[in-house]
Amino acid sequence: MPTTAFAAPSPSPEPTTTATPAPGTKSLDDVRKDIDELYRQAAVATEAYNQAEEQTKVQSAQIVKIAQAIVKGEERIKQLKDQAGAAARLQYRTGGLPLGAQMMLSGNPDAFLDGADRLREGQQATQGMLAELNRTQSDLGQYSKDASAQWTKLEANRVKKETAKKEITGKIAAAEKLESQLEAKERERLAQLEQEQQFKAQTDWLSSGILREINGKASEQGRRAVKFATDQIGKPYEWGAEGPRTYDCSGLTSQAWLAAGRGIPRTSQEQWAQLPHVDIKDMRPGDLIIYFADATHVGMYIGDGAIVHAPRPGRNVTITGAGTMPILGVVRPDK
């Protein structure tokens, strides 16, 4: 990978008699494209894994809240039942007689009437208590249904994560196998072909004159985000990782903006879906450039036509040209 946005590729080696592939075999450039496609497919699966992981965290937190509500509800029901039991025992002691009969049997009618007022107040309180008991029991029933629904979603996301994990590891293994079958000189040439392709893409992008239109200055938060991201240069890419030792592409950008005091979505697809969009000509350092039609890669613009990003498995966080991959659009976390 180039270490700057404008690094020219090394001169191509002199042609050799083995440069032309044998009939029925793939050229080295075709092998490069196959490897790139496998890593692209791994990136798509990584997005699915990260999304399922984020949803799992949310659902787990919701289940904890529901469980806490159930515990509180059960404690309240016990209190209400104890109060209901006390009221029932009081009624038993009075024999359940009508108020008029109790007054006739009372030796002190005035004292009885005072007691009757208190009794009526107690009966009203009992009715309110029974209504609350019914509501609490109904709430517990709903909490149980909610918990069951969340467990179902949690299990579905567990399956999604496992499926995505198998997809990721399978695609990475296939790409690594293709590379391992190459001889040392072929691997060197493969790296050079990749560099040449990126240089051409960046040159084509810059030749449009776009850089003359981009002159935005970073916000204070944007500067902090850029500093965090560039401080991670040299750390390895790892799918699903959010640091501090390894990162995937959206793990790097989300953690950089979190360090700058702004929480943003975890995945590049959610960053594209939820953050405000800006025109490429209006972008400034700290903005995020989303790549590919399915929004499966993201880098942070750092100025002068360059981004910092976590490229793919086997690579480290690095700086490269912003135009080296197909740009979907730009989003601004702190707009």
* Residue among 286, 273, 285 at smallest CA distance from 329: 273
3-state secondary structure (DSSP) of residue 299: strand
Cβ 254 vs Cβ 243: under 8 Å: no
Please give the DSSP secondary-structure letter assigned to residue 309: E
335's CB contacts (< 8 A; 6+ apart) are 275, 276, 278
Strands of the chain (E only): list them. 277-278, 288-291, 297-303, 306-309, 318-321, 327-331
Cβ 333 vs Cβ 275: under 8 Å: yes
* 249 catalytic per annotation: yes
Catalytic residue among 43, 48, 249, 310: 249
* 309 catalytic per annotation: yes
Torsion sign, CA atoms 193, 196, 201, 202: positive
Catalytic residue among 32, 171, 235, 297: 297
Which tokens is 220 given?
């204070």
Euclidean distance between CA atoms 89 and 119, whole angstroms:
13
Q: How far from 46 is each of 49, 214, 296, CA to CA, in Å?
A: 5, 31, 9
Catalytic residue among 235, 309, 312, 332: 309
261's CB contacts (< 8 A; 6+ apart) are 221, 224
* Residue among 99, 93, 95 at smallest CA distance from 113: 99
Question: 320 has which bridge partners?
Answer: 307
Residues noted as catalytic: 249, 297, 309
